[in-house]
Amino acid sequence: MSLIGHSFGGAVAMKAGLALQERVHRLVLFEPNVFYMLAMHGNHEAYAEIKAVRDHFKLRGEKGDWYGVAANFIDHWNGEGAWAGINESRRSALLRAMMHAYHEWDSVFDETTPVDAWMPLAERTVLIVSANARTSIRGIADILRNNLVGLGYFKIPHGGHMAPLTRPDLVNPVLIDALDRP
């Protein structure tokens, strides 16, 4: 089987890969958000960047300010002003999604699995990152690339963290290539 995950889905796919081990033929990750690794590996700048996003999300979410949560979250991942450019029907869907994502932050900050636990899967894993990825994502990519010998790596030219949704024309060919890899 092949597992594909983006962002939090990438963190979930990584954990599933550990549980399934030999049953996994290919593990394809687009900017997995295993943020705990940044602290574990001493990348304080990248950790501080994403911790600020998490702290804002959690604080505003506790107060029920999902609009404030969504605006900050969307602008972080898509660029300043991105939230303002989204139509109202899409905003409604994103606001609902923010409520469901509230506890995801705990799992990607509180995890403790060391990076070398994925070494048995390294040669079956492909990591995809956007060239204009955020500091936290670049930090995670560096950790994975520096510690998992045999890890496949692709960089798409642009599109950012939401490229699987906003730039499938760039992401899908890389996904297909990753899945077809021997």
**Model pLDDT for residues 3-57, shown as the tens digit of each residue:** 999 999 999 999 999 999 999 999 999 999 999 999 999 999 999 999 999 999 9
pLDDT at residue 181, as a whole number? 79
- CATH of residue 9: 3.40.50.1820
pLDDT at residue 100, as a whole number? 87
Summarised one tens digit per residue, pLDDT across range 66-88 is 999 999 999 999 989 999 999 98
Joined tokens for residue 32: 């997995």
Q: Which long-range contacts (CB under 8 A, 24 or more apart) does 46-50 make?
A: 46/135, 46/136, 46/138, 46/139, 46/140, 47/136, 47/139, 49/134, 49/135, 49/136, 50/134, 50/136
pLDDT at residue 127, as a whole number? 98
Q: Are 121 and 173 part of one and the same domain?
A: yes
Q: Are 159 and 129 part of one and the same domain?
A: yes
Q: Are 38 and 118 part of one and the same domain?
A: yes
Compute CA 86 distance to the chain's CA centroid, rounded to the nearest angstrom.
21
Phi, psi values for residue 126, rounded to 5°: -125, 125
Summarised one tens digit per residue, pLDDT across range 101-142 is 999 999 999 999 999 999 999 999 999 999 999 999 999 999
Q: Percent helix, strand, coil in the chain (nearest 5)?
A: 65, 10, 25
Q: Are 29 and 118 part of one and the same domain?
A: yes
| pTM score, whole prediction | 0.93
Q: Are 35 and 79 part of one and the same domain?
A: no
Summarised one tens digit per residue, pLDDT across range 89-98 is 889 988 988 9
Q: Are 122 and 174 part of one and the same domain?
A: yes
pLDDT greater than 80 at residue 182: no
Structurally, how many domains does the chain consist of?
A: 2
Q: Which domain holds residue 118?
A: 2-43+114-180
